[in-house]
Amino acid sequence: MSQPSTESRVRAERRDSVGHVTLDRPRAINALDLGMIEQLQTALDAWRDDPDVAVVLMDGAGDRGFCAGGDVRGLYDQIVEGRPVDTGTFFRAEYALNAAIAEYPKPVIVLADGITMGGGIGLAGHAAVRIVTERSQLAMPETRIGFTPDVGGTWLLGRAPGRVGEYLGLTGASMDAADAIYAGFADHLVPSEHLSQLHHALQTRADPHTPTELTLLFDATAGPSRLEADREWIDDAFAADTVTDIVARLRARPETAASETADLLEQLSPTALTVTLAAVRRARELPDLRAALAQEYGLVMWFAQTQPDLAEGIRAQLVDKDRSPRWNPAALADLDEGIVREALAFVPDVPLWA
């Protein structure tokens, strides 16, 4: 067995035929910085053609979660200090990693145990075998900071049942294990108490020997999905053409959850909501993950370079923590009619797939 890497925030080692990478930043719930992304990419590159590595296993250190997302505070500093080059460098590296996981020639197994959000979805959501536990909380919460889902999130959201993708993308709602499996963000529920046994089985390659077959030895039946139970009002409301119409339909529904969702949407950035709705729907028509990542890259750079709501949302949530963002514009009715066209047409200075 090879020795663990000496790098502090990603541990990479080979255990028998398993390449095992662990995000090791538990105090930040393993939030990704550029160095961690580069280290993960280095590990995947090293094992790609290694005949002694049959599968790759990815998990997170600590007991709070797999990965809480990207380094949002670092993004805030880049924006307010006027460093768009650094912003672009981070997202290009992250998206290349997302694509590498999806296209990897060997099975990548990700344990999305605990909190898995934003950038964590980019690692877990595109893996060959996506495992959740009873502790899992998955979400794409970007609209809550005046931003839009990325890391291939729109690709996943666009393929969720019915209008669940629009609902999750706009609200940033959390999914438990049952919801994540129902929405297409995960494949199997393995109780957390069995994760160490799954690790051992993967290393020893006991029969049955494929990663999915091994996982099924420990798979448990997920409980009822709240998303599935709420499909009637979600599909009705989130099929509307605009965010304004979605809110109106939610207000007309008798369900308490529908009116609470309307309350939430009215608190979020009109720009983020409107662009996200268009992005999820357009991703539904795109041919593959790389095309979705390219669309997202243009949108995130548009937000970072031209829209005040992103820095304001991060300020309110993570810097001053007053939870009182001042969106610009503050109301859906005040949005420029061409905002979606402008956002989707934005061309970053450096292309994603240069």
pTM across the whole model? 0.95
pLDDT digits (tens, 9 = 90+) for 216-268: 889 999 889 999 999 999 999 999 999 999 999 999 999 999 999 999 999 99
**Residue positions annotated with a catalytic role:** 70, 119, 142, 150
Mean pLDDT of the region 151-176: 98
pLDDT of 205: 73
Mean pLDDT of the region 265-285: 98
Residue closest to 352 by CA, chosen among 94, 39, 71:
94
**Structure tokens that stand for 277 in this block:** 């709705």
Percent of the residues in the chain that have a pLDDT greater than 70, as a whole number: 97
CA distance 257 to 249: 13
pLDDT of 207: 64
Mean pLDDT of the region 308-336: 97
**Structure tokens that stand for 7 in this block:** 């790098």
CA distance 165 to 154: 8
pLDDT of 159: 98
CA distance 347 to 334: 25
pLDDT of 210: 86
**Structure tokens that stand for 339 in this block:** 């905002």
Q: Is the pLDDT of residue 4 over 60?
A: no
Q: Is the pLDDT of residue 123 over 70?
A: yes
Q: Specify the CATH number for 10-345; select among 3.30.950.10, 3.40.640.10, 3.90.226.10, 3.40.50.300.
A: 3.90.226.10
CA distance 303 to 299: 6
Using CB atoms within 10 A of its CB, is residue 195 exposed (0-12), middle (13-18) or buried (19+)? middle
Mean pLDDT of the region 105-133: 98
Distance of CA 176 to the CA centre of its chain: 14
Query: Per-domain residue ranges for the chain?
Result: 10-345
CA distance 307 to 81: 15
pLDDT of 204: 85
Label residue 1 by pLDDT band (50, 70, 90). very low
Q: Is the pLDDT of residue 5 over 50?
A: no
